[in-house]
């Protein structure tokens, strides 16, 4: 090998180490960039290939070059913030961003990132500061998350009121109570019944009405029966019968074990005043019967030798509500908390994974693009497949280790210096050859 070739070998070392120093410098420059993934320069040697197999010259290297600049997609540290829309991924996956100016069916504007510093723009879309919109799943009116992905938008409209349609009451009626002679008297409800309680219901306008429920024992045999009456304030009823107006009535029957064996409703019709919908029917449910699920009456009303009382009651009506807060679950589901106490799913942030994440192409601004080497994006919700969890009010830091980068800097500088010495030494050798003529 000629001495001039040795000069070119040294130059290749200088060039590759210069590129390596550029990688180190870029890592250090982005040490505080949220979601940044550090790069690693990978070198390979060069050999002469002239077809002279077995010759000594084949075994002499011809220098080095950068084989690849590999992005290391390791997890960065997570730090908390005071912004709800700051999102971080713990585990695998990337946020999906879409350029709103790109065609809807094009992948040219689709980007992927681990930097989750997002905001809500003026149109209600979750986006980054450049305007690229986060991709996610919308929520159906039932609260179920749709499987259709698109620009993630939060609907902050108020929830309309919902009138009570179902009312569940679990209670115990004292089996020691005696049968009260005579019919139930709405003018003297406490004197003509054994037990009374109160529940709240809502009309179609979302107004609350207190309904008093009275229970009167009819028989005290082995299979006891009780009549029940749901009474509303006559001032809140259209054309009331009196101070208390019956909006529903029925009968409960219990077996010898005190378990609810039968429940019937004779009538259920409420005509609340104030312009609310008339003939509001409420389904009164007193719990499971022994013939229901697994023949167990757990959670159902009973007639036992214990003081009468209500154990549990619930109903499905509610007043109108405005959204007052948001919450992001680790699954990426965004929930709205409303002033009427309801929590509703508003959508979910999507994550993408790749078969070969090392094949992704860097796009600047801590963004990546998919490529033929990475394969297509596999999109889904957080905590599914190999996708990680999403944490709100949290950001992922750069995975750059400053101490390690300084070590790499020293090693690169020493390698560069050594290559420069090989050039100056070779120059001295050439000078000695030229001096042979003297």
Confidence at 293, pLDDT banded by 50, 70, 90:
low
For residue 63, the model assigns a pLDDT of 84
Burial status of residue 287 (CB atoms within 10 A of its CB: 0-12, 13-18, 19 or more): buried
**Position 220 pLDDT exceeds 50:** yes
Query: Mean of the per-residue pLDDT values for the chain?
Result: 89
Which is the CATH superfamily of the domain at 166-315?
Flagellar hook protein FlgE (2.60.98.20)
Tens of pLDDT along 38-63? Answer: 999 998 888 765 555 555 555 677 88
Confidence at 295, pLDDT banded by 50, 70, 90:
very low
For residue 400, the model assigns a pLDDT of 97
Stretch 8-20: mean pLDDT, rounded?
A: 87
**Position 214 pLDDT exceeds 70:** yes
Confidence at 225, pLDDT banded by 50, 70, 90:
very high
Burial status of residue 6 (CB atoms within 10 A of its CB: 0-12, 13-18, 19 or more): buried
For residue 48, the model assigns a pLDDT of 67
Domain boundary assignment for the chain: 3-74+399-437, 81-158+323-396, 166-315
Angle ∠(113,118,122) on CA atoms, nearest 5: 130
For residue 3, the model assigns a pLDDT of 75
**Position 223 pLDDT exceeds 90:** no
Confidence at 217, pLDDT banded by 50, 70, 90:
very high
How many residues are listed for the chain in this entry? Answer: 438
For residue 297, the model assigns a pLDDT of 42
For residue 154, the model assigns a pLDDT of 87
Q: What percent of the chain has pLDDT over 70?
A: 92
**Position 198 pLDDT exceeds 90:** yes
Q: What are phi and psi of 355, to 5 degrees?
A: -65, -40
**Position 421 pLDDT exceeds 80:** yes
3-class secondary structure, 121: coil
Stretch 170-182: mean pLDDT, rounded?
A: 93
For residue 291, the model assigns a pLDDT of 59
For residue 50, the model assigns a pLDDT of 54
For residue 102, the model assigns a pLDDT of 58
* Lowest-pLDDT choice from 52-66, 182-196, 352-366, 383-397: 52-66
pTM recorded for the entire structure: 0.78
For residue 65, the model assigns a pLDDT of 86
**Position 5 pLDDT exceeds 70:** yes
* Lowest-pLDDT choice from 23-27, 205-209, 255-259, 331-335: 255-259
**Position 195 pLDDT exceeds 50:** yes
Tens of pLDDT along 246-290? Answer: 999 999 999 999 999 999 999 999 999 999 999 999 999 998 765
For residue 238, the model assigns a pLDDT of 94
For residue 105, the model assigns a pLDDT of 42
Write b or e for each residue in 166-204: b if 16 or more Cβ atoms lie within 10 A of its Cβ, otherwise e: ebbbbbbbbbebeeeeeebebeebeebbbbeeebebbbb
How far apart (Å, rounded) are the C-alpha atoms in residues 257 and 37? 68
Tens of pLDDT along 77-136? Answer: 999 999 999 999 999 999 999 987 654 444 557 899 999 999 999 888 999 998 999 999
How far apart (Å, rounded) are the C-alpha atoms in residues 45 and 9? 10
How far apart (Å, rounded) are the C-alpha atoms in residues 82 and 302? 50
Per-position DSSP letters for 147-194, written without gaps between them: EEEEE-B---PPBPPB---EEEEEEE--TTPPPPPS---TTSTTTT-S
Confidence at 300, pLDDT banded by 50, 70, 90:
confident
For residue 106, the model assigns a pLDDT of 43
For residue 398, the model assigns a pLDDT of 96
Confidence at 429, pLDDT banded by 50, 70, 90:
confident
Q: What percent of the chain has pLDDT over 90?
A: 69
- The residue whose two tokens read 């499905």 is 316
């Amino acid at each position: 090998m000629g001495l001039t070739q040795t000069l070119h070998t040294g130059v290749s070392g200088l060039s590759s180490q210069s590129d390596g120093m550029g990688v180190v410098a870029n890592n250090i420059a982005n040490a505080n960039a949220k979601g940044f993934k550090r790069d690693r320069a990978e070198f390979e040697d060069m050999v002469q290939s002239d077809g002279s197999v077995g010759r000594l010259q084949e075994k002499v290297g011809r220098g080095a070059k950068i084989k690849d600049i590999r992005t290391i997609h390791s997890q960065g540290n997570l730090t908390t913030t005071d912004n709800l829309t700051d999102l971080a991924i713990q585990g695998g996956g990337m946020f999906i961003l879409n350029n709103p100016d790109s065609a809807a069916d094009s992948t040219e504007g689709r980007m992927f990132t681990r930097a989750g510093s997002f905001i809500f723009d003026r149109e209600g879309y979750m986006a980054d500061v450049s305007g690229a919109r986060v991709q996610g799943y919308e929520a159906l009116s039932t609260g179920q998350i749709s499987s259709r992905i698109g620009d993630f938008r939060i609907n902050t409209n108020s929830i309309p009121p919902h009138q009570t349609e179902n009312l569940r009451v679990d209670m115990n009626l004292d089996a020691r109570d005696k049968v009260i002679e005579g019919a139930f008297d709405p003018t003297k409800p406490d004197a003509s019944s054994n037990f009374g309680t109160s529940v709240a219901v809502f009309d179609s306008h979302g107004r609350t009405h207190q309904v008093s429920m009275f229970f009167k024992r009819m028989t005290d045999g082995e299979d006891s029966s009780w009549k029940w009456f749901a009474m509303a304030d006559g001032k809140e009823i259209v054309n009331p019968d009196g101070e208390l107006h019956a909006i529903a009535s029925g009968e409960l029957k219990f077996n010898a074990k005190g378990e609810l064996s039968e429940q019937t409703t004779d009538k259920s019709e409420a005509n609340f005043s104030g312009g609310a919908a008339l003939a509001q029917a409420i389904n009164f449910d007193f719990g499971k019967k022994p013939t229901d699920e697994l023949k167990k009456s757990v959670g159902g009303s009973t007639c036992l030798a214990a003081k009468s009382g209500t154990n549990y009651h619930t109903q499905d009506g509610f007043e109108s509500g405005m959204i007052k807060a948001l919450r992001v679950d680790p699954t990426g589901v965004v929930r709205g908390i409303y002033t009427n106490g309801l929590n509703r799913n508003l959508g979910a942030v999507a994550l993408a994974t790749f078969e070969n994440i090392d094949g992704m192409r860097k796009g600047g601004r801590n963004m990546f693009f998919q490529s033929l080497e990475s394969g297509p994006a596999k999109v889904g919700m957080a905590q599914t497949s190999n996708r990680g969890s999403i944490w709100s009010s949290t950001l992922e830091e750069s995975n750059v280790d400053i101490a390690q980068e300084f070590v790499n800097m020293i090693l690169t500088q020493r390698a560069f210096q050594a290559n420069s010495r090989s050039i100056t030494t070779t120059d001295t050798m050439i000078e000695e050859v030229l001096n042979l003529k003297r």
